[in-house]
Amino acid sequence: MSASTTIDMIPRSGLGVAPLLAAFIEKDVLPGTDVLAEDFWSGLAEAVETLGPRNAALLERRQKLQAQIDEWYRKTPVEDIRPEAQRKFLQDIGYLLPQPDDFKVGVEGIDPELSAISGPQLVVPASNARYALNAANARWGSLYDALYGTDVIDESDGCAPGSGYNPVRGARVIAYARDFLDRAAPLVTGSHTDASRYRIEDRQLIVDLNGTTTPLQEADQFAGYRGSSNDPEAILLRNNGLHIEIKIDRKAPVGKDDLAGVADVVLEAAVSTIVDLEDSVAAVDAEDKVLVYQNWLGLIKGDLTSELEKGGETIVRALASDRSYVDPKGARIDLSGRSLLLVRNVGLHMFTDIVTDKNGNEIPEGILDAFVTSLIAKHDVLGNGVYRNSREGSVYIVKPKLHGPDEVKFTVNLFADVERCLGFTPNTLKIGIMDEERRTSVNLSACIEAARDRVFFVNTGFLDRTGDEIHTSMEAGPMLRKDEIKSCPWLTSYEDRNVRLGVQHGLQGKSQIGKGMWAMPDEMSKMMEQKISHPKSGATTAWVPSPTAATLHAVHYHDVNPFEVQAQLAQQQSDGLNELLSPPLSVHRDYSPEEITEELENSCQSILGYVVRWVDQGVGCSKVPDIRNMGLMEDRATLRISSQHVANWLRHGLVSEDQVLEVLKKMAKVVDEQNADDAAYRPMSGNFGGEAFNAARELILHGRDQPNGYTEFTLHKWRRKAKSSCSIA
């Protein structure tokens, strides 16, 4: 859809600009940045003219390589699809590049939240102001609340939450928290469980225990306090770089019954948050795009608010203020009350018609994102906001879906152009490399080298990486069932190499090495059992689906120090390419009709459950019930897996087109029932000609033809059709 067919564009430096965007940039963003409107628009126009053709060439290169890979798989017998053969073939076509000589990153100006502190990371859609504020404020979280409200504390032996406060469950929560304190900040003698008083004496924390007193085993873990030294309101501890606050209030509902007056244990949790303009949002036009930019601006300037109704009252959410304490020497210390905010731009493959070039063509949306999100972030660099985000004066841009080092170099060049246009010091704009496409995985060292002076993280994206693995190897043969793919050698190698190569190239103490999302927000007990594997692997951060999950996952970074793991990994070398080049094929499996139907129904229900909200309601990320009614966090990455998996089985004859359509219709009824209480929901099963159902159908039946298996093009097309219909607001 061309912008010229829908709205009259405003001319700016040879570009056509949607009026809503032009007004936002010129009235809301530019004032206070020391950047003139004509300089901004001319800089954007120059970048579009010079980098636009390179962007197109890189996308063409992707398609050419994929076509060569498809042809090789089609003509190669499955028994000959061995890692060594693939390795040679990929080298011959220039997909697998020579490894660079050993190097270390030279990035500077990285905030400690990314370089020196390990902890959870949130990803939040920029389109939802309330969610964004909640995520930004998730720097600190109540461990008591997180435990009481989740299945980490089971409901046995009278511990069910009930309608009011259950003191039996509360006692279990307190016991869990005290055990945590004993691990994170142990006493010389005794246990925090037996504490009757916390006080400060001779610059030390002293704990009274049943007639005796004891300090901490490590005195320097005492970081500060609030209130009087003899009767503090809060005790601040520090372990593995993260803070713990013991909140003391003998009048509070919990504190009044606690021997030491402890009312809560508050953890420093989501030390960083990605404000997402990509996979978790549905931004298909000027209205949508300006909204996500506005929310990013509000977060950076500190004036974003959101109202909600709760208990008959209107509550206004805003950014949390800093937290103040007195350190052991009596000096005031201030700790940030908010996550360090990063912003995720879109990938190279996305184009937008809210700005058109001199010929009236859509421009690469990633170029627009780089200019606008960086211009907004200049308010932080200049100190214009209520709070500082980056105290180092850096701007952190996560760049998704890059394919290999040439695309990383392109992004580095784009950032340099933005810096020159907007008056930033060189290398102010930092890049987070999402290692979520196979061409990046196999060339990760070269990708890091291409951004060696800007890289602030490398992060595995297991969900998108699986979708790309299926699409890249589409012609090789039918894939294993989705759950079986998780235990394949390529995935283990992928997760392992990401950390080892990051350590090898000097990211430790300079930049984050991260891991992907826990997708089951209601399964916190399982998360606590399994996600400790991330810090144990040496990863300094991992994604979580909610502020509550961030608080719980923070416990893992007290139990395991990833920097110590990295120190051990620095002594080891690993290639792992052979495992990485082993597609998860099911050639030695003979699935029964029942297994095939089960897998197909699972995928189709997942696709429809996500797509119907995306297309009809513009919800890019939400907790979607699966076929068993278990809530799963879904975004375009999970959609890519399911749609590509069904497309693969369709390609190789495990399922037929008629079977797919039959199951889609059956699952549409299931999804309709699951959303029966949503007044804004439009049922799919009464009329299978609606936009949402057609989008799901297209994602599967045309999945092989979608560039790299991406779902964005189909979703955008059908969302725009839905928005243009009279029944969608």
CB atoms within 10 A of CB 588: 7
Q: Name every residue whose Cβ is closer than 8 Å to that of residue 432 and which is 6 or more positions away in sequence.
A: 342, 344, 396, 397, 398, 399, 455, 456, 457, 458, 459, 512
pLDDT digit string, tens, across residues 349-373: 999 999 999 999 999 999 999 999 9
Degrees to nearest 5, angle at CA 274 with 348 and 377:
80
> Is the same domain home to 343 and 238?
no
Residue 3 pLDDT grade (very low, low, confident, very high; cuts 50, 70, 90): very low
| Torsion angle, alpha carbons of 473, 477, 478, 484, to 10 | -60
CA distance 446 to 456: 15
CA distance 3 to 603: 35
374 domain-assigned:
yes
pLDDT digit string, tens, across residues 184-206: 999 999 999 999 999 999 999 99
- Long-range CB contacts (< 8 A, 24+ apart) of 316-320? 317/129, 317/130, 317/133, 317/134, 317/137, 318/133, 319/133, 319/136, 319/137, 319/386, 319/387, 320/136, 320/137, 320/139, 320/140
pLDDT digit string, tens, across residues 582-628: 999 998 889 999 999 999 999 999 999 999 999 999 999 989 999 99
Say if residue 61's pLDDT is above 60.
yes
> Is the same domain home to 225 and 312?
no
> Is the same domain home to 658 and 519?
no
CA distance 125 to 525: 25
407 domain-assigned:
yes
Q: What pLDDT score was predicted for residue 312?
A: 83
Residue 54 pLDDT grade (very low, low, confident, very high; cuts 50, 70, 90): very high
Q: Chain-wide mean pLDDT for the chain? A: 96
**Is 100 exposed, middle or buried, given 0-12, 13-18 or 19+ CB atoms closer than 10 A?**
middle
- Three-state DSSP at 332 gives strand
Q: Using DSSP bridges, classify how beta strands 351-356 and 340-344 pair: parallel, antiparallel or unpaired.
A: unpaired
497 domain-assigned:
yes
Q: What pLDDT score was predicted for residue 2?
A: 41
HSE of 537, CA atoms in CB hemisphere, 13 A: 26
CA distance 493 to 381: 39
Specify the residue for token string 């609340």: 145
| CA 184 to chain CA centroid, nearest Å | 27
78 domain-assigned:
yes
| 43 closest CA partner among 414, 394, 377 | 414
> Is the same domain home to 95 and 228?
no
Say if residue 82's pLDDT is above 50.
yes
Number of separate domains in the chain = 3
**Structure-token pair, residue 408:** 């990383």
Say if residue 726's pLDDT is above 80.
no
The dihedrals phi and psi of 304, each to the nearest 5 degrees, come to: -70, 135
pLDDT digit string, tens, across residues 300-335: 999 999 998 887 889 999 999 999 999 999 999 999
What is the DSSP secondary structure assignment for residue 25, as one 8-state letter? Answer: I
CA distance 316 to 506: 44
CA distance 100 to 452: 12
CA distance 611 to 675: 13
Is 635 part of the annotated catalytic residue set?
yes
Say if residue 403's pLDDT is above 60.
yes
| 239 closest CA partner among 495, 507, 535 | 535
> Is the same domain home to 98 and 145?
no
1 domain-assigned:
no
CA distance 557 to 349: 36
Sheet containing strand 212-214, strands side by side: 195-201, 204-209, 212-214
> Is the same domain home to 69 and 152?
no
Range of the domain at 175: 139-268
> Is the same domain home to 630 and 523?
no
- What's 560's domain CATH number? 3.20.20.360
Residue type, 486: K
Q: How far is CA 177 from CA 142, 260, 316, in A?
A: 10, 14, 30
> Is the same domain home to 276 and 424?
yes
| 546 closest CA partner among 573, 517, 568, 581 | 517
- What's 703's domain CATH number? 1.20.1220.12
- Three-state DSSP at 469 gives helix
**Averaged pLDDT for residues 420-434:** 98
Q: List the catalytic residue out of 279, 369, 464, 635.
A: 635
pLDDT digit string, tens, across residues 500-541: 999 999 999 999 999 999 999 999 999 999 999 999 999 999
| CA 194 to chain CA centroid, nearest Å | 40
**Structure-token pair, residue 356:** 């058109």
> Is the same domain home to 154 and 242?
yes
- E strand or H helix that includes residue 268: strand 262-268
pLDDT digit string, tens, across residues 125-146: 999 999 999 999 999 999 999 9
Question: Distance between the two ends of the chain, CA-based, in angstroms?
Answer: 19
* 290 or 210: which leads in pLDDT: 290
> Is the same domain home to 315 and 344?
yes
CA distance 141 to 177: 13
What percentage of the chain exceeds 70 in pLDDT?
98
7 domain-assigned:
no
> Is the same domain home to 287 and 297?
yes
CA distance 611 to 617: 10
**Averaged pLDDT for residues 551-559:** 98
> Is the same domain home to 154 and 169?
yes
**Averaged pLDDT for residues 624-649:** 95
Specify the residue for token string 């399982």: 526
Q: What pLDDT score was predicted for residue 4?
A: 39
37 domain-assigned:
no
23 domain-assigned:
no
CB atoms within 10 A of CB 591: 16
**Averaged pLDDT for residues 36-56:** 98
CB 412 within 8 A of CB 454: yes
Q: List the catalytic residue out of 344, 636, 697, 719.
A: 344
Residue 6 pLDDT grade (very low, low, confident, very high; cuts 50, 70, 90): low
